[in-house]
Amino acid sequence: MIFLKSGILTSIQDIGRCGFKDKGINPSGAMDTLSMRLLNILLGNEDTEAVLEFHYPTPTITFEEHALFAIGGANFSGSLNNKSVSNWKVLEAKPGDMLCFGKKVNGERAYIAIKGGFNLKKSLGSNSTNLLGGFGGKKIEKGDSLDLNLKNGQLFAATKKVYLAPKTVNVNLRPAFEQNQEIRVIVGKDLSNLDLESRNKIFNQSFIISSHADRMGYRLEGDCLNLQSSEEQISSSVAFGTIQLLPDGQLVILMADHQTTGGYPKLANVISVDLSILAQLSVGQHVTFREISMEVAESVFLKQEREMKKFKSAVQLYL
Amino acid sequence: MKYEIYSLSEHSISLYFEQKISPEINDLVLSACEWINKNPMIGFVEVVPAYASLTVFYKILEIKPLIKSGTISEYVEDYLKSIPFEELTQLEREPKIVEIPVKYNGEDLISLCEAKEIDRRELIKLHTAPDYRVYMMGFLPGFAYLGGLDKKLSMPRRAKPRIRVPKGSVGIAGNQTGIYPVSSPGGWQLIGQTDAVLFDPKMKKMTLLNNGDTVRFVEG
């Protein structure tokens, strides 16, 4: 596939790069891993197969060869040769077909998964694009071309099978987001160091996603939160979803391109299931935080994994 | 052994030693990481050392079948508690010494000299004198947090960070000095430039510097 337009930020991502955080190498990876995995499963790929992640303004793509693909995550009104196409469905492209996007309907990050995946060489065990380090995957520029793994012959065989399998992702499985989104968190090491008023506020006020929201982190706007004692902290590890308190009393949530370590107080951590929802929220939207126990957080994660497994089995039955 | 354990996320857990920047505590962190890497639990993904803490990342799905009662997080906590800390303190580490040649021509060199009322020669002398320790990797791929800067060179970050600090820039921020392994935005006071390759994903060890290494800057 060839990119006639690159879009504002289009990159190859997968589940992220693990095992090198001790060298300062951040994980990167898809922001909305749920959408990424669902699209891959729908196409009968490994759920960790690399996908294209793109934002609005969107890329424009021409297919050089036959391909089966699916779009999901944000809805940017896709159209193939000027005929509108739906998200979460198996789609077929012929050589010369053009994929465009129109209006931004909802969400911030959309994904394209390709049957069989892209022909890419892994870097440090992953195809995710490390935008900071400038390695791995690919950040798409105008005129770039991506090679697909499945060539015509293999693809026709695959096509027949995929069309027998479920053709869409069940609505209940897709990430759903609301205007006032509740985000579930587990408590962090420094939450108990908030003063009483702030401890009340963090779970009882809504925060606005500020314009400083990108793949590295989301800065939030709300009433200032204060610590009881503000000794300087020594930096330690952080994770995707860590909510830190900045010196100005505002919160930042670390996202996929976060640094591996941080020195600000860690108040809470967004549960991984809700990170995919957070990844789709836009500037100006409101979020509230709800604290859940570790036990519940683990069971929410395990429940989603069971549902993914079920969907996978339903698709694989035909492949 | 005094330590505290906190969950970071539902997939990671941190162990904090006394929160102090010291070679002894950092040695203990590295020895504990070594023990974990040699005795990984089922579901282990990676362990990440920091100044005075370490964090274990794990796979819930792989640990789940082992659990009879309680949470997966508690199971991993028990594993961390099983580390033989007292034996670890006996381990001796042989630090790797890395010399880094620096051209002292950074954009903030003159203003830093003026602020400290020293000349360029004095700054070079002060910056090249100590043995620095890599206390932690982070910020950027291959970026080492170096401790041991002479207090006379201590300088806060720039009020306005630069949009692009070139790869190989040597800088100062507070009591730390460090080298930008890749070009990136950054607020450190730039004093020089090195041709040393700090990060290359194709290199066998990927990064020139690693946790616990000793760094010496030389002019040239």
Domain of B42, CATH number, reads 3.30.1360.40
CB contact under 8 A, B182 and A133: yes
Per-residue pLDDT band for A232 (boundaries 50, 70, 90) equals confident
Task: Give the residue-averaged pLDDT of A211-240.
Answer: 93
Task: Specify whether the CB–CB gap between A183 and A290 falls below 8 A.
Answer: yes
Q: What is the ipTM of this complex?
A: 0.95
CB contact under 8 A, A236 and B16: yes
The confidence score (pLDDT) of residue B136 equals 96
Give the β-pairing of B53-58 and B12-16. antiparallel
Per-residue pLDDT band for A151 (boundaries 50, 70, 90) equals confident
Output phi, psi for B111, to 5 deg: -65, -35
Same domain, B115 and B42: no
Full residue range of the structural domain in which residue B13 is found: 4-89
Per-residue pLDDT band for A190 (boundaries 50, 70, 90) equals very high
CB burial readout A17-33, b (16+ within 10 A) else e: bbebbbbbbbbbbbbbb
pLDDT per residue as tens digits for the range B113-168 = 999 999 999 999 999 999 999 999 998 999 999 999 999 999 998 988 898 999 99
**pLDDT greater than 80 at residue A165:** no
Same domain, B113 and B202: yes
Same domain, B101 and B197: yes
pLDDT per residue as tens digits for the range A89-125 = 999 999 999 999 999 999 999 999 999 999 999 999 9
Residue B164 CB: number of other CB atoms within 10 A? 11
- The continuous run of DSSP H or E covering B122 comes out as helix B120-128
C-alpha angle with apex A251: A246 to A254, nearest 5 degrees?
95
Q: Return the amino acid letter for A31.
A: M
CB contact under 8 A, A241 and B55: no
Q: Which of B54, B89, B124 is the last residue of a domain?
A: B89
Same domain, B101 and B135: yes
The confidence score (pLDDT) of residue A87 equals 96
Q: How far is B116 from chain A (nearest CA, A)?
A: 24
- Model's pTM, two decimal places? 0.95
pLDDT per residue as tens digits for the range A295-316 = 999 999 999 999 999 999 988 8
Of A18, A132, A238, the CB nearest to B46: A18
Task: Give the residue-averaged pLDDT of B33-61.
Answer: 97
Strand order across the A60-62 sheet: A2-5, A60-62, A98-101, A78-80, A83-84
A192 and chain B: CB distance < 8 Å anywhere?
A: no
A189 and chain B: CB distance < 8 Å anywhere?
A: yes
The confidence score (pLDDT) of residue A153 equals 62
**pLDDT greater than 90 at residue A158:** no
Task: Specify whether the CB–CB gap between A278 and A270 falls below 8 A.
Answer: yes
The confidence score (pLDDT) of residue A154 equals 74
Interface of B with A in 54-73 (CB under 8 A): 54-55, 57, 60-61, 64, 71-73
Helix (H, G, I), strand (E, B) or coil at A289: strand
pLDDT per residue as tens digits for the range B4-31 = 999 999 999 999 999 999 999 999 999 9
Taking only Cα atoms into account, the Rg of chain B, rounded to an integer number of angstroms, comes to: 20
Domain containing residue B188: CATH number: 2.40.100.10
Same domain, B143 and B194: yes
Per-residue pLDDT band for A197 (boundaries 50, 70, 90) equals very high
Per-residue pLDDT band for B70 (boundaries 50, 70, 90) equals very high
Q: How far is CA B132 from CA B23, B150, B175, in A?
A: 11, 10, 11
**pLDDT greater than 80 at residue A161:** no
β-pair partners for A291:
A185
**pLDDT greater than 80 at residue A160:** no
Output phi, psi for B16, to 5 deg: -105, 125
CA B166 – CA B162 distance, rounded (Å): 10
Number of domains making up chain B: 2
Same domain, B82 and B148: no
Could you tell me which of B27, B23, B53, B59 has the C-alpha nearest to residue B41?
B59
Same domain, B11 and B105: no
The confidence score (pLDDT) of residue A163 equals 66
Using CA atoms of A134, A138, A142, A143 in order, give the dihedral in degrees to the nearest 10.
Answer: 120
Same domain, B23 and B81: yes
Q: How far is A293 from chain B (nearest CA, A)?
A: 10
Task: Specify whether the CB–CB gap between A113 and A70 falls below 8 A.
Answer: yes
Residues whose CB falls within 8 Å of the CB of residue B110, separated by 6 or more in sequence, listed in order: none
Same domain, B73 and B148: no
List, as one string, the DSSP characters of B66-103.
G-SSS-HHHHHHHHHHTS-HHHHTT----PPEEEEEEB
Q: How far is CA A44 from CA A49, A110, A159, A161, A308, in A?
A: 10, 19, 11, 10, 13
Same domain, B191 and B167: yes
The confidence score (pLDDT) of residue A164 equals 64
Same domain, B55 and B120: no
CB contact under 8 A, A235 and B138: yes
Q: Which of B36, B60, B89 is the last residue of a domain?
A: B89
- Provide the H-helix boundaries in chain A: 33-42, 152-164, 196-204, 272-278, 294-316
Could you tell me which of B211, B215, B214 has the C-alpha nearest to residue B52?
B211
Same domain, B148 and B167: yes
Residue among A48, A237, A260 with most chain B CBs within 10 A, to mutate: A237
The confidence score (pLDDT) of residue A290 equals 97
Provide the mean pLDDT of chain A: 93
Residue among A15, A17, A18, A23 with most chain B CBs within 10 A, to mutate: A23
The confidence score (pLDDT) of residue A318 equals 72
Q: Which of B51, B73, B89 is the last residue of a domain?
A: B89
